[in-house]
Amino acid sequence: MDKIGSKGFMKLVFATNNQHKVEEIRKVVGNQFEIITLFEAGINIDIEEPHNTLHENASEKCAVIHRLTGLDVFSEDTGLEVEALNGEPGVKSARYAGEGRDFQANIDKLIHNLEGITNRKARFRTVISLLLGRQEYLFEGICNGQIIKEQKGLKGFGYDPVFVPDGSNKTFAEMSLDEKNVLSHRKKAVAQLLDFLSANAQNN
Ligand code: ITT
């Protein structure tokens, strides 16, 4: 595949199987770069996340997809870090309640583990790995907020129904994509990625 997409923009594979992430990131990127999903690249694999840090998992996803496509690629790994739970579920956020990766079971477990705890502080942290050729670049976005006691809202994914970001009185699941993208961890990390690409794309 060519490094320049059909629309004339720099082409990047986004190494994720999470369609919600694709939607959020495409909305931020607009038409500045061409984002190719794994599905569009004809890749149908579940990429392992075996490591204990977001950074290592993000790097692994890029390395696997770069080996398969030879293209420039980025990936991201995100964790919900709850202060009163010593940073859990953190890097294990997707599988907090087991290998089923069930969003509702994960929320139920989180609410249960926070029963009777008054410190509800939490943050989402996104680490993006960008692999241009052999060179890796990292970007991070953090969104601070609170875990509420009962879930609210039907939009978004994962822990969105129980997370109220600082500066809002709504959960992420009560927000449109555009509203979530004003405050979110992912948006902040992607904004850095875009700044970097805009400054460096002409050199690649
Ligand atoms: P890929 O690895 O294929 O990108 P994933 O769903 O496995 O997709 P992560 O490991 O990065 O993605 O995410 C871990 C979990 O954290 C995810 O399954 C959600 O439960 C949760 N999560 C991540 N970003 C979130 C967000 O913006 N809002 C709510 N929950 C989120």
> Tens digit of pLDDT for each residue in 138-147?
999 999 999 9
Q: What is the pLDDT of residue 8?
A: 60
Is residue 6 situated within a structural domain?
no
Q: Residue with structure tokens 């990292």?
A: 138
For residue 48, which phi and psi values (nearest 5 degrees)?
A: -65, 150
Q: Is the pLDDT of residue 108 over 80?
A: yes
**Which of 188, 160, 159, 187 lies closest to 174 in space, CA to CA?**
160
Is residue 17 situated within a structural domain?
yes
Active-site entry in 2, 46, 72, 77: 77
Distance CA 58, CA 62 (A): 6
203 C-alpha vs ligand 1 centroid, how far in Å? 32
Is residue 2 situated within a structural domain?
no
**Residue with CA closest to ligand 1 atom 31:** 158
Q: What is the pLDDT of residue 32?
A: 82
Distance CA 103, CA 118 (A): 23
Q: Is the pLDDT of residue 1 over 70?
A: no
Q: What is the pLDDT of residue 95?
A: 95
**Which of 135, 112, 107, 129 lies closest to 192 in space, CA to CA?**
129
Is residue 29 situated within a structural domain?
yes
The dihedral through the CA atoms of 89, 92, 93, 98 has a sign that is: negative
State the CATH number of the domain containing residue 84.
3.90.950.10
19 C-alpha vs ligand 1 centroid, how far in Å? 10
- The verdict on whether 2 is a catalytic residue reads no
202 C-alpha vs ligand 1 centroid, how far in Å? 31
Is residue 142 situated within a structural domain?
yes
Q: Is the pLDDT of residue 58 over 90?
A: yes
Per-residue tokens: 134: 């052999």
Is residue 48 situated within a structural domain?
yes
Q: What is the pLDDT of residue 48?
A: 80
Q: What is the mean pLDDT of the chain?
A: 93
pTM of structure: 0.94
Is residue 160 situated within a structural domain?
yes
**Which of 195, 172, 173 lies closest to 183 in space, CA to CA?**
172
Mean per-residue pLDDT, 33-51: 90
- Residue 96 pLDDT grade (very low, low, confident, very high; cuts 50, 70, 90): very high
Residue-range definition of the domain harbouring residue 100:
11-203
42 C-alpha vs ligand 1 centroid, how far in Å? 22
- Residue 169 pLDDT grade (very low, low, confident, very high; cuts 50, 70, 90): very high
The dihedral through the CA atoms of 88, 82, 182, 156 has a sign that is: positive
Which residues contact residue 134 at a Cβ distance below 8 angstroms, ignoring those fewer than 6 apart?
none
Atom of ligand 1 nearest to the CA of 101: 18
Which residue ranges have their beta carbon within 6 Å of ligand 1? Answer: 16-18, 21, 49, 77-78, 80, 93-94, 103, 106, 124, 156-160, 172, 186
**Residue with CA closest to ligand 1 atom 7:** 94
Is residue 3 situated within a structural domain?
no
Please report, as a single letter, which amino acid is at residue 14.
F
Residue 34 burial (CB < 10 Å; 0-12/13-18/19+)?
middle
Instruction: Report how many domains make up the chain.
Output: 1
